[in-house]
Amino acid sequence: LWTAASRPEPSSEEVQKLVSPIVNLLSEINKFKDSKRNTPQFNHLCAVAEGIPAVGWVLVKKTPAPYVKEMSESAMFYINRILKEFKEGDQRNVEWARLWKQVLEDMHTFVRQTHTTGLVWNSAPGCSLPEMCNQVSTALHHPTSGGPTLPPPPPPPPSLFADTTPCTIDANGKAGRDALFAEINKGQAITAGLKKVTADMQTHKNPALRGQSKPVAGAPSSRPPLIELKDGKQWNVEYVVGNSNVVINITDKKQTVYVYKCEDSVITINGKLNSITLDNCRKTSVVFDALVTQCETINCQSVQIQTLGEMPTLSIQKTDGCQVYLSEISKNAEIITSK
């Protein structure tokens, strides 16, 4: 925003050169989230990963505010989870969730009121960004004479993620961060370099194109399959590919099952359990006896769910293709869907 206020809109070529750091950093955020799936703060990280793309509003022309709103609503799914999970627990988590929600809401309000039709650039800048930086730097290093300086502020309260290893930023990291801000502030013309799709390039208008290409199957995960019961509470079924004989025997109805990145597999769950979650699965089927709360799918493709007994709630979130087989006792189950 500072850069946009101090210079005219850059060319589309400049924007294209600068856009890659944003993509890379957003990818790093998602990788970090995935690496912490078995931590108590996983929902926190998901809330961040779903909401942080809202900063890309600077690349959206004409109506950036609805884009921010969409990202905010995606994050709200996990924010509500945090509020529900810690309603009677550590209130720092509740406060964190409310503050993150407020950040996204404030961003939406700011964009809607100040940049209604897209990022506003300065068509007649009076002072360049380097000059501003030099002025601020000089003021910070050479303060005016006066009384004694104030003591430093007290340290902040312990973080929710205090148990994680602190990260350091080297020269390359700083350069990447600087590139990120430069990219964000120059991104309004990002779509200018895109190639126009003509009628002869569209399959629904050119039948000859329909048989020329076939979808390429995604490469199977290179990570080994994992089936384990953690702390006697949660069954983790991860990276299982091409296995139709996965069987889990529940010993306590408080146990949960979390299925992650499984493909072309069938998972049978014997015994009544608390809940089931399918995350990033493809062509995976789950058959179970009964649930205390809910079965949930997130970011899945072509999955099947079959209950032989009770299932109070089924939540289908961001899923393309989900077949559900209900038992007689669960035919009145509450089904929640969102894209």
CA distance 265 to 283: 7
Question: What tokens appear for 239 in the block?
Answer: 């990276």
Among the residue ranges 101-105, 160-164, 202-206, 284-288, the one predicted with the least confidence is 160-164
Q: pTM of whole model > 0.85? A: no
Predicted pLDDT at 81:
87
Q: Which of 206, 202, 243 is nearest to 226 (CA)?
A: 243
In this prediction, residues 233-247 reach a mean pLDDT of 92
From 83-92, 199-208, 239-248, the region with the lowest mean pLDDT = 199-208
What integer pLDDT is reported at residue 194 of this predicted model? 54
Query: What integer is the mean pLDDT of 72-95?
Result: 88
Can you give the three-state secondary structure of 39-58, one letter per residue?
A: CCCHHHHHHHHHHHHHHHHH
Distance CA 195, CA 275 (A): 47
Give the whole-angstrom CA distance, residue 101 versus residue 107.
10
Residue 216 is predicted with a pLDDT of 45
Phi, psi of 41 (to 5 degrees): -100, 20
| Angle at CA of residue 333, ends 330 and 339, nearest 5° | 135
What is residue 215's predicted lDDT score, i.e. its pLDDT? 45
Separation of alpha carbons 7 and 123, rounded Å: 7
> What was the pLDDT predicted at 166?
46
- Sign of the dihedral through C-alpha 142, 147, 151, 152: negative
Q: What's the pLDDT tens digit per position in 150-181?
A: 555 555 555 555 554 444 444 555 555 555 55
* Structure confidence at residue 228 as a pLDDT band (50, 70, 90): very high
- Sheet containing 334-338, strands listed edge to edge, beginning at the edge strand earlier in sequence: 226-230, 234-238, 256-260, 275-279, 294-298, 313-317, 334-338
The predicted pLDDT at position 8 comes to: 77
Statement: residue 147 has pLDDT above 60: no
**What tokens does 16 get?**
């294209």
Which helix (H) or strand (E) segment holds residue 302: the answer is: strand 301-307
pLDDT at 98: 92
Question: What number is the average pLDDT over the span 74-100?
Answer: 89
Q: Which range has highest mean pLDDT (14-23, 32-41, 191-200, 291-300)?
A: 291-300
> Across the chain, what does the average pLDDT equal?
78
pLDDT band at 90 (very low <50, low <70, confident <90, very high): confident
Long-range contacts of 108-114 (CB under 8 A, 24+ apart): 108/54, 108/65, 108/68, 108/69, 108/72, 111/57, 111/64, 111/65, 111/68, 112/65
> 334 vs 17, which has greater pLDDT?
334
Cα(282)–Cα(286) distance, integer angstroms: 12
Q: Identify which has the larger pLDDT, 6 or 150.
A: 6
| Domain architecture of the chain: domains with CATH | 2-133+172-193 (1.25.40.330), 226-338 (2.160.20.70)
Average pLDDT over residues 214-236: 74
pLDDT reported for residue 122: 74
The residues near 110 (Cβ < 8 Å, ≥ 6 apart) are: none
Least confident of 5-14, 113-122, 293-302: 5-14
Whether pLDDT at 95 is above 90: yes
- Give the span between the Cα atoms of 125 and 155, in whole angstroms: 39
3-class SS at 40? coil
pLDDT on residue 289: 93
pLDDT above 80: residue 143: no
- Would you state the pLDDT for residue 97? 92
Look up residue 120 and give its two tokens: 């506003």
pLDDT tens figures, 11-51 = 777 766 666 777 788 888 888 988 888 888 899 999 999 99
Q: Sorting pLDDT into bands at 50, 70 and 90, what band is 263?
A: very high
Q: Give the pLDDT confidence of 308-322 residue by residue, as tens digits.
A: 999 999 999 889 999
